[in-house]
Structure 1
């Protein structure tokens, strides 16, 4: 069977969670036993920069991964033609959207329903496109994949499809962090020997970093907070709030950092905090557990499903509760040791090998 992988939206270093999901599954598929030929369909940037296993064929479509309009047009019109020309039997799309009409079987991974549940972080145009095309992709696809039981429930609640059509293929620990040698970012040496807090992700509204700033301002003494991830326009609001709350000298936004530095930040943190209002999975939770960093997290969405008993939970809408739970984890050494131990056990629940087997199994049903 010829399996096509739709990677038209993927650019290394962008869309971190979806890129990590795709990269790790693709690498794991080279290790498990199957007899299928896999061909990747990429944009111009992906074709030049994706470090893909040599076992895969690769077809470049003449579009930029930075252009949403080009991606949407190519996905619905040109990708089916390119894939048909390659003799594809089933095309798997990794980023929500699949061709709605195609002369072969199609599947798509819908990671969450954030564009519906927390639309504040999306432009009107993107919201409209997602609200139109995601349901069409899901209903026309032969199988829909997602990354957690929570996201499966969300999909079934918001899209009119059968439960049996939605299959859970979970994320796991990104291999780039396992394989790296940790270093500490030189621009953050002032916090290296302190009991600092770490958050990894964007500053989109649903990530709730403003509530985290408000919580940190209530802790005495105020701990340093490192907010690590791609800087976007909404980062300005986070920085303004830090100034307003009088904690700007303790809040650091270094932006995107390389894996080696991210590993160093995880290793040195007193606690990892996940304040999100909405997550379809939350890979940083597993990353923190791998580096034996205690986790404090929201009690909503997929977060409790992923972290289980390896986290202390707070109400993300209550900054005082966030502050109290952070303080408790920072001050209680016995609790910290228990969380680290629970984290080691929790990591065993998630495996890219298992997820790759599940993906191939369900794709094989479509031959």
Structure 2
């Protein structure tokens, strides 16, 4: 927004100034409001009551309890409605209460996918004309990396052996990792010694230990590698070096890493549910995430068919090229200006 908007002024509310914050244009003013707890619904609400802006934009789910007269909120997903077991009791109470409240009280809603828009209409009865779908973009650092030295250094850093399939996310049941491991075990029996290893990158989540035990039970612990958190700067190289990126999730509000994989020229295998078909488009393989055989067959195709991988690589690069943060910013600005008109 700072790069494209020369008409409006912005006040950025924050608990504390982020160290990584880049230089801001003159039209942007920081407004730190220090408070360790109850920031959004306490201190920010007080700020809205005492010094309301013309329009408040909240890019993450929950408006303050006391919003100004005009407000826009971005709701990323309603995963807690589909999979409440993936959250604690306290999280479910908070998300259900404040997401519904925000959807009702906001002047307008930005949804990050058509799937999220449908959920808002289904669960909350939100009118269609109150919701605008604006997709995310891909950071410029996600580009194909072909330098063998960079790929080898990154793989060595995380103790990875090529060839490999890559999964990036918190390791938890909603991500469908157990079925993915089962599919890899079955695919290994078909592909044999040329079967790519499965690399799971992401911090441990709910029931991670149970998921790890599943690899042992299936006899593929030597083919499944839990490498933990990956630094942002290493992700393009890990994606570029993978045979394919696999995202068999049971639910996603968007699925950012799928798009990042395509931008790196990595073939994508993803679920055919929630937002993932929107993000993948016709540039990846889509499967039923509940069908282990379907996941297995897609993995076998990707492991054995170099022509298919090359085709998906080219289609993915073309598809991801139009998903830019500038497009996201321009569409967001259009919504903000429309809602902010007197």
Rounded to whole Å, the distance in 2 between the matches of 1:88 and 1:76 is 16
Are the equivalent residues in 2 in contact too, given 1:276–1:298 (CA < 8 A)? yes
- Could you tell me how far 1:87 is from its partner in structure 2? 4.9
Map 1:277-356 → 2, pairs under 5 A: 277-356=250-329
Q: Could you say which residue in structure 2 is the equivalent of 1:36?
A: 8
Q: Could you say which residue in structure 1 is the equivalent of 2:185?
A: 217
Q: Could you say which residue in structure 2 is the equivalent of 1:8?
A: none
Are the equivalent residues in 1 in contact too, given 2:73–2:110 (CA < 8 A)? yes
Map 1:63-142 → 2, pairs under 5 A: 63-64=35-36, 70=37, 73-83=38-48, 85=50, 87-142=52-107
Are the equivalent residues in 2 in contact too, given 1:299–1:314 (CA < 8 A)? yes
- Of 205, 209, 234 in structure 2, the residue corresponding to residue 261 of structure 1 is 234
Give the direction of change, closer, same or farther, for the CA distance of 1:74–1:33 in structure 2 (3 Å limit): closer
Q: Could you say which residue in structure 2 is the equivalent of 1:12?
A: none
Are the equivalent residues in 2 in contact too, given 1:100–1:140 (CA < 8 A)? no
Rounded to whole Å, the distance in 1 between the matches of 2:18 and 2:306 is 48
Matched, 1:58 2:30: yes
- Could you tell me how far 1:178 is from its partner in structure 2? 5.1
Q: Could you say which residue in structure 2 is the equivalent of 1:21?
A: none
- Of 174, 181, 184 in structure 1, the residue corresponding to residue 154 of structure 2 is 184
Report which of the two structures shows the higher radius of gyration computed on alpha carbons: 2
Matched, 1:164 2:134: no
- Could you tell me how far 1:100 is from its partner in structure 2? 3.5
Give the direction of change, closer, same or farther, for the CA distance of 1:117–1:233 in structure 2 (3 Å limit): closer
Give the direction of change, closer, same or farther, for the CA distance of 1:306–1:224 in structure 2 (3 Å limit): same
Give the direction of change, closer, same or farther, for the CA distance of 1:195–1:179 in structure 2 (3 Å limit): closer
Return 5+ residue gaps in structure 1 as ranges: 1-28, 65-69
For the residue of structure 2 that corresponds to 1:217, the secondary structure is: helix
Rounded to whole Å, the distance in 2 between the matches of 1:230 and 1:113 is 22
**What is the number of equivalent residue pairs in this alignment?**
328
Rounded to whole Å, the distance in 1 between the matches of 2:5 and 2:19 is 27
Residue range with higher mean Cα deviation, 349-358 or 106-115: 349-358
- Of 19, 23, 28 in structure 2, the residue corresponding to residue 49 of structure 1 is 19
Give the direction of change, closer, same or farther, for the CA distance of 1:112–1:33 in structure 2 (3 Å limit): same
Rounded to whole Å, the distance in 1 between the matches of 2:324 and 2:160 is 36
Rounded to whole Å, the distance in 2 between the matches of 1:248 and 1:273 is 18
- Could you tell me how far 1:345 is from its partner in structure 2? 1.9
Are the equivalent residues in 1 in contact too, given 2:144–2:236 (CA < 8 A)? no
Q: Could you say which residue in structure 1 is the equivalent of 2:169?
A: 201
Residue range with higher mean Cα deviation, 73-82 or 131-140: 73-82
Are the equivalent residues in 2 in contact too, given 1:100–1:141 (CA < 8 A)? no
Rounded to whole Å, the distance in 1 between the matches of 2:252 and 2:69 is 32
For the residue of structure 1 that corresponds to 2:265, the secondary structure is: coil
Rounded to whole Å, the distance in 2 between the matches of 1:79 and 1:179 is 42
Are the equivalent residues in 1 in contact too, given 2:138–2:260 (CA < 8 A)? yes
Rounded to whole Å, the distance in 1 between the matches of 2:287 and 2:207 is 24
Rounded to whole Å, the distance in 1 between the matches of 2:99 and 2:154 is 40
Are the equivalent residues in 1 in contact too, given 2:52–2:68 (CA < 8 A)? no
- Could you tell me how far 1:298 is from its partner in structure 2? 0.9
- Could you tell me how far 1:349 is from its partner in structure 2? 3.5
- Could you tell me how far 1:231 is from its partner in structure 2? 2.4
Give the direction of change, closer, same or farther, for the CA distance of 1:52–1:294 in structure 2 (3 Å limit): same
Return 5+ residue gaps in structure 2 as ranges: none
Query: Segments of 4+ in structure 1 off by > 4 A?
Result: 83-87, 178-183
Are the equivalent residues in 2 in contact too, given 1:98–1:108 (CA < 8 A)? yes
Are the equivalent residues in 1 in contact too, given 2:56–2:68 (CA < 8 A)? no
